[in-house]
Amino acid sequence: MKQRPVTSRDVARLAGVSQSAVSRCFSPQGSISPKTREVVLAAAQQLGYRPNTIARSLIMRSSRTVAVVVSQLDNPFYALTLARASRAFQSEGYHLLLFLVSDDGDTTGVMSEILQSQAEGILMLAATLTTPFAQECVDRSIPVVMINRTVDFMGVSQVSSDNYHGGYWVGSYLAGQGHRRMAFLNGLASSSTGAYRRRGFLDALVAQGLACWAEESGEYRFDKACEATRRLFAQKPYPDAVFAANDHMAVAVIETLRAELGLRVPEDVSVIGFDDTPVAAWPSYRLTTLRQPVEEMVTVAADLLLAQMREGHLSPVQRTLPVVPILRGSVRQRG
Amino acid sequence: MKQRPVTSRDVARLAGVSQSAVSRCFSPQGSISPKTREVVLAAAQQLGYRPNTIARSLIMRSSRTVAVVVSQLDNPFYALTLARASRAFQSEGYHLLLFLVSDDGDTTGVMSEILQSQAEGILMLAATLTTPFAQECVDRSIPVVMINRTVDFMGVSQVSSDNYHGGYWVGSYLAGQGHRRMAFLNGLASSSTGAYRRRGFLDALVAQGLACWAEESGEYRFDKACEATRRLFAQKPYPDAVFAANDHMAVAVIETLRAELGLRVPEDVSVIGFDDTPVAAWPSYRLTTLRQPVEEMVTVAADLLLAQMREGHLSPVQRTLPVVPILRGSVRQRG
DNA sequence: GTATCGTTTGCATACGAATGCAATTATCTG
DNA sequence: CAGATAATTGCATTCGTATGCAAACGATAC
């Protein structure tokens, strides 16, 4: 027994005014006299009336909705980012439409839904936009901001941390501390962050006259990272340092080294991660890592999106935020 | 330069048919001849037309949208649950409107927005509904399913794991293994899960002729849990077992015991958690804990919500799913 | 060719709220 | 108190799509 919902007409009838008057009571700039407002609000209260956002969106041609596309919600870094972003938009009166995509990032179906949904902005977390859709967003002047993923298309804004220089720092630092057999544990092939971290790392090694000792992929997943570690340490001589593309995998490396291979960190093997998630600071790991400025990334991304939605015209921006090395105890010190 | 969006009229004009014909091309049960469909689709393609979901929702009186309210996204358990739930609804063609609430759970503002948004169902993750809003949902026949939170109101469906018996098992098990000074580390006062776990735990102790040695709150947060641990171990005799209301805090307990107090787990202190999040299985912790059937909880909750949205009438259900003890190595064994 | 039936099409209207315009009322001014 | 001005109010229309209804069309059978 689905009862017909209460509309502004019902309220108008009960209050003895026109539907327009009711409408004006619920919009900020509506001109209405204090006493009619009172009567109307009373009637609304009595009937349990609430303005229908959908109808409002239609006539206003504005949904006040932002679509968020995210993969890897199981990665605490992105869960946190989503939480922050959500707060930013909620506080500005926007609603969030959430879309999850699988790790391999097939955004096609989802993008189509987003465009139909009349979202006024799109935030992409660790998910990539295909060029045709990026183009379509530009055509419809729907601002897009990508966090931690880049795409070779100037029409969308991108906020990333400086993955290349982060990787470069790791390479230099490890070399500087006297390591000679550095291994890299990558995430997913589809991830541009991983690619940049790797590139920087390799370039740094080359600059020191070194080469990468071994390379594996852990797909950003704990269990896969454990397996990859076993492969990296399948034969001697072992690597004397492992750079993992994120903290989550770095922890997997440490756990595997200790529990299965009887190796100590950092005495036998040094480990460096990326992200500075909370786990990195736990006493058991004291993981040296690179901090991504989560807070700032979200702020910048949200502000960008909000600004572009307000202005209605697109002026895409590419921002790269510095990462900062957090020195803890997972790297063997020279001498 | 925000260009006017393409409407079905534009397509109709280009294709030389009526607007109705266009509409029928995009709805499954529309009667249309193959050749007009072809012409229309071609025109739509050419113009980049996409049906406007908002207008469709309005006329269909159905938004195909589910609102998800979640707190504690930083807790991996809920991040995972959200990920699963999202998949379930997306695959049924529903859109997810995401609302984050602060831990203390002020859902009032958010609930008001949800009701205006014309969501057809509400999923609450670790967030509580106040009775007036619960009543309003019932009045509007909007199905609500709460996961892991209970409220004393029969109008909404609730899916929880058996927190009471989980707590009870912990109490019996610890007693059975010869512990005598058990401490409880609670989460938030506002959380019914914590309350049930505590109740079961205390009841089990009483049944063994024991009492709870000490009690603290860690607010489900790592740092707060560390502090609470310090308080629990501020003076001797130390507790010989700690039951933490979730794994996240249990790990904090272990870290603090080892790093700051030089205590071993389980030789000096036994620790039990709740959830069986991935961390619990890491070799460093080998945490004995109670597994919540995440997968099943989500499936049950999503199916319930979907069924109730389809049927349009409410028949709320309270489901309690069994938790299963996962015995690892964080409890000292008798003898 | 005509009568009949089924399919396809367009017309007109509806969904619920916002707003320009004109009409009305309230307020102010001299 | 008349006249002018400002503040409210209601009417009618609009947003973009779906659908009942009747008209037009095509196919089929005799």
A335: in domain: no
- Yes or no: say if A67 and A123 are a contact pair by the CB < 8 Å rule: yes
Based on the domain organization, do A140 and A195 belong to the same domain? no
Report how many domains make up chain A: 3
B133 in a structural domain? yes
**Chain B residues in contact with A95 (beta carbon < 8 A):** 97, 113, 117
Q: What is the pLDDT of residue B155?
A: 86
- At B3 the pLDDT is 63
Residue A125 has pLDDT above 80, yes or no: yes
Average pLDDT over residues A115-134: 92
pLDDT score of A290 more than 50: yes
pLDDT value at position A3? 63
Rounded to whole angstroms, the distance from the CA of residue B305 to the C1' of nucleotide C3 is 54
* Strand C, nucleotides covered by protein (CB < 7 Å): 7-12, 14-20
> Which nucleotide lies closest to B7 by the C1' atom and the CA atom?
D16
pLDDT at B180 over 60: yes
**B333: in domain:** no
Distance B20 CA to C14 C1' (A): 14
Indicate whether B247 and B234 sit together in one domain: yes
Q: Which of A53, A94, A111, A257 to mutate to test the interface with B (most CBs of B within 10 A)?
A: A53
Same domain for B264 and B176, yes or no, is: yes
B90 plus B209 within the same structural domain = no
Residue A2, in any domain of the structure: no
pLDDT for B72: 83
> Which amino acid, one-letter code, is at A47?
L
Q: Is the pLDDT of residue B154 over 50?
A: yes
**For A92-96, A233-237, B73-77, B164-168, which range has the lowest pLDDT when averaged over its residues?**
B73-77
Across residues A59-81, what is the average pLDDT? Answer: 91
Asked if A13 and A34 sit in the same domain, the reply is: yes
**In a shared domain, residues A77 and A36:** no
Contacts of A313 in chain B (CB under 8 A): 1-2
pTM: 0.92
Q: What is the mean pLDDT of residues B49-78?
A: 93
Residue with tokens 């098990």: B173
CATH classification at residue B215: 3.40.50.2300
**B219 domain-assigned:** yes
Check whether B84 has a pLDDT greater than 90.
Answer: yes
**Per-residue confidence (pLDDT) for residue B311, from 0 to 100:** 84
Interface contacts A/B by beta carbons within 8 Å: 131
Structure confidence at residue B8 (pLDDT): 95
Residue nearest to nucleotide C18 (CA to C1'): A59
Distance, in Å, from the CA atom of A157 to the CA atom of A314, rounded to the nearest integer, reads: 9
A5 pLDDT more than 90: no
The domain containing residue A34 runs over which residues?
8-51
Q: What integer pLDDT is reported at residue B108 of this predicted model?
A: 85
pLDDT more than 70, % of chain A: 99
Q: What pLDDT score was predicted for residue B105?
A: 66
Residue B276 inside a domain? The answer is: yes
Binned at pLDDT 50, 70 and 90, residue B227 comes out as very high
Q: What's the mean pLDDT in A231-245?
A: 96
Report chain A's mean pLDDT, rounded to a whole number.
Answer: 93
Nucleotides of chain D touched by protein CB (<7 A): 7-12, 14-20
> How far in angstroms lies nucleotide C24's C1' from the CA of residue A10?
24
Read off the pLDDT of each residue in B100-115 and give the average, rounded to a whole number: 86
Residue A39 sits in the same domain as residue A95: no
pLDDT over 80 at A82, yes or no: yes
Question: Of A117, A260, A278, which has the smallest distance from its Cβ to B53's Cβ?
Answer: A117
Same domain for B298 and B155: yes
Evaluate if residue B177 carries a pLDDT over 50: yes
Mean pLDDT for B301-321 is: 90
- pLDDT band (50, 70, 90) for residue B1: very low
Whether B32 CB is under 7 Å from strand C: yes
- Half-sphere exposure of B129 toward its Cβ, with a 13 Å CA cutoff? 33
From A31's Cα to the closest Cα of chain B, the distance in A is 22
Distance A20 CA to D10 C1' (A): 7
C-alpha distance from residue B52 to each of A114, A124, A308, B64, B94 (Å): 11, 22, 22, 13, 15
Digit-coded pLDDT (tens) for B182-226: 999 999 988 899 999 999 999 999 999 999 999 999 999 999 999
How many percent of chain B have pLDDT more than 70? 99
Contact B98 A1 (CB under 8 A): no
* Residue A103 placed within a domain: yes
Residue A240 in any domain: the answer is yes
B52 vs A contacts (CB less than 8 Å): 58, 116, 118
| CB distance A142 to A309 below 8 Å | no
Across the range A310-327, mean pLDDT stands at 90
Interface contact flag, B2 A73, Cβ < 8 Å: no
Distance B250 CA to C14 C1' (A): 59
pLDDT value of residue B321: 96
Same domain for A268 and A168, yes or no, is: yes
pLDDT, position A1: 40
DSSP letter, residue A68: E
pLDDT digits (tens, 9 = 90+) for A26-64: 988 878 888 899 999 999 999 999 999 999 999 999 999
For A1, other C-beta atoms within 10 Å of its C-beta total 6
Give Cα separations from A204 to A167, A184, A197, A252, A327 (angstroms): 8, 13, 11, 25, 18
